[in-house]
A and B are shown apart, each in its own frame.
Chain A
Amino acid sequence: MEPLLELRGVNKSFGVVHVLHDVDFAVYPGQVTALVGDNGAGKSTLVKIIAGIYGRDSGDYRFEGNEVEVHGPRDVAALGVEVVYQDLALCDNLDIVENMFLGREETTRFGLDEVSMETRARETLASLSVRTVKSVRQSVASLSGGQRQTVAIAKAVLWNSKVVLLDEPTAALGVAQTRQVLDLVRRLADRGLGVVLISHNMGDVLEVADRITALYLGRVAADVSSKDVTHGQIVELITAGRSGDLGIAENPATATV
């Protein structure tokens, strides 16, 4: 199967600090790809490169099989790649519909087209089987953490995006809300989207992910199917970069010095 989005041999340095070493990363349609790694492994940097916020020092950015030029977040959004950041980026004083269309409002000759926007927002939420919000016209301030996450994800899906990156979507949520969001993540992939899940929670990762990419000190330690690994193996990949015959042959921390 051809990847929707693929990075090949990406290097990135900040000054003298070499953050990413020849990173290969692929997102497949209809699959949830989990991106795991310890703090400082380079997850956030990789996400920001995909999102177009950081440039790359070297390496290819490929989308649907073609190499593409990416110079900023707008280029990435134009490709159909949406990022849902950890801090959600919702406006508390606006309602759900207003937030979902923020920056891309629809208008008629007489101003904002509220009828069309509310209708489309409803359709999108319904297509994601979101049934937990009381009204699409309630302000986002009144929503729970899980509902806010849902709105942020629905906002990303509204624009017929092909790839959605979710940065720690369940980090601040309770059990029931985590359940809602994980179900939603699974449904996104079932619709044929390529989903990237960045998470520290191995339980979540093993439950919804199809593939797991583990980063260790800026290198890809493993890119495996989630069926082939156990909880313990992932933890070893994250903390030591290797697990049995999986992972980096030599410990790069000692090898590169």
Chain B
Amino acid sequence: MTDTQSTPAAPVASGFDNDNRQAGSIGDSARDYVNRLRGGDMGSLPAILGLVVLVVIFASLNDRFLTTYNMANLVVQASAIIVLAMGIVFVLLLGEIDLSAGVAGGACATITALMLIDYDWPWWLATLAGVAFGMVVGLVIGSLVSFLGIPSFVVTLAFFLGLQAVPLKLIGSGGSLRYNDPVLRGLSIKNVPVTAGWIAAVLIVLAFAALSLWSYRSLSAKGLVHPPIGLVAIRIAVLAAIVLGLTALLNANRSPNPIFDISGIPWAAPVVIALLLFWTFILTKTRFGRHLYAVGGNAEAARRAGINVRRVRIMAFVICTGMAALAGLLSASYTGKVSPGSGGGNVLLYAVAAAVIGGTSLFGGRGRALDAVIGGLVIATISNGLGLLNQAAYINFVVTGGVLLLAASVDAISRRRRSSAGV
């Protein structure tokens, strides 16, 4: 490829001899990317490749896998894992772990369900109560970790055990809380109207394109480091293809029964997208986000730079458990009920696996909200595909455990390569 775009005249004053303000052409960018991969900076690439492989395997083994009906189902199944994983990303960014997030989500969902059923609260107030309970739990966990210095592994293991008591006490063993709130239940079973879905999809693509081009212009005008225009165009095209493609897929009639029509994007998807945009903004564009990465990379350096490390650490746990509450509500909306076992079992490990598979490091300092989405789709694809194949439940455990181990190995190996290659 040739360098076709005009290079803006850089101010001479700074005089860095070799400072490449932009990777000259798309070819250079591609070479840079390959070099980063070799240096161990894999990002989400293994997860995306894995997702493609899984889809191909399941599609060839079962012809129902690729139907739009199953794809919509997959999106809803993935949403709870994704939201929980997004919360876990914040804790992993600091090199900590939260083992209690799954059951905390179950406990929060129980409280929301009780408020809906026993006290007739409106859905938003009940949701707020559940999320607030989660944030208080996160505050306590974070305070124990940062003030007493107990390893987060131990604190959250204790909360994993303790929080299971909340739904058991409130619901009673063997019972369950069913609710039919049109909004909270509708997250999984209702769809965005087809026209509204198209409008939202087009708006997202246009907004992304406008922001990318605006950022490109303001960076290149000042002669600062910026990607080549070709790469910006490719990014916009890829995003447009994914967003518009998924919208087309989900807006098609997917009903297996010709008598009635099911079409539109399940409401769970816009919830996930809104959370993704919000947390991506917090992580990349705010001081708090920058401080999270700094504390995860070198807590002592962050402390000396005047960052309140304790506050950052507590906030990470508050965000994690708050997101766990939302994940609990999403999974309750899928099953239509909350039971004492909600959020237990392998829910938490699925979410940790999703974050790590997506490219978030277990060692802190690296991770994005988007990692949770990609990794969550991988995990949901595995459980959805294996379910369609009518495999015994134990296969599901073995495969998911294997994938988590594989992702953690990729993380550890790429970390070692990074430190030796110094990327």
Q: List chain A positions with a Cβ less than 8 A from chain B.
A: 73-74, 77, 85, 87-94, 98, 102-105, 107, 110-112, 114-115, 118-119, 122-123, 125-126, 130-131, 133-137, 139, 141-143
Does B304 make an interface contact (CB < 8 A)? yes
Q: Which residues of B contact A123 (CB under 8 A)?
A: 13-14
Q: With A94-B290, A112-B286 given, can you name 6 additional A-B contacts, CB distance below 8 Å?
A: A103-B291, A111-B281, A112-B285, A114-B219, A136-B19, A141-B418
CA distance A90 to B285 in the complex (A): 20
CA distance A104 to B423 in the complex (A): 25
* Contact string against A for B residues 1-34, beta-carbon threshold 8 Å, 1 for contact and 0 otherwise: 0000000000001111111110000000000000
Chain B residue total in the interface (Cβ 8 A): 39
Does B287 contact A142, Cβ atoms closer than 8 Å?
no
CB distance from A13 to the nearest CB of B (A): 26
Does B281 contact A133, Cβ atoms closer than 8 Å?
no
CA distance A206 to B218 in the complex (A): 47
Does B302 make an interface contact (CB < 8 A)? yes
Which of B42-50, B292-300, B393-401 lies at the binding interface? B292-300
Does B15 contact A131, Cβ atoms closer than 8 Å?
yes
Does B296 contact A93, Cβ atoms closer than 8 Å?
yes
| B20 to chain A: closest residue by CB | A135
CB distance from B323 to the nearest CB of A (A): 21
* Contact string against A for B residues 268-312, beta-carbon threshold 8 Å, 1 for contact and 0 otherwise: 000000000000010011110011011011101110111100000
Pick the 7 closest A-B CB pairs, nearest first.
A111-B285, A103-B305, A91-B297, A93-B297, A93-B365, A89-B301, A103-B306
Q: Which residues of A contact B423 (CB under 8 A)?
A: 139, 141-142
A-B CB contact pairs (8 Å), 26 listed: A77-B306, A89-B304, A91-B293, A91-B294, A91-B298, A91-B365, A94-B297, A102-B307, A103-B302, A111-B281, A111-B285, A112-B287, A114-B224, A118-B225, A119-B222, A119-B224, A122-B16, A125-B14, A126-B13, A133-B16, A134-B20, A135-B21, A136-B19, A141-B422, A141-B423, A143-B422
Q: Which residues of B contact A107 (CB under 8 A)?
A: 286-287
Q: Which B196-227 residues have C-beta < 8 A from chain A? A: 218-219, 222, 224-225
Does B368 make an interface contact (CB < 8 A)? no
CA distance A94 to B307 in the complex (A): 15
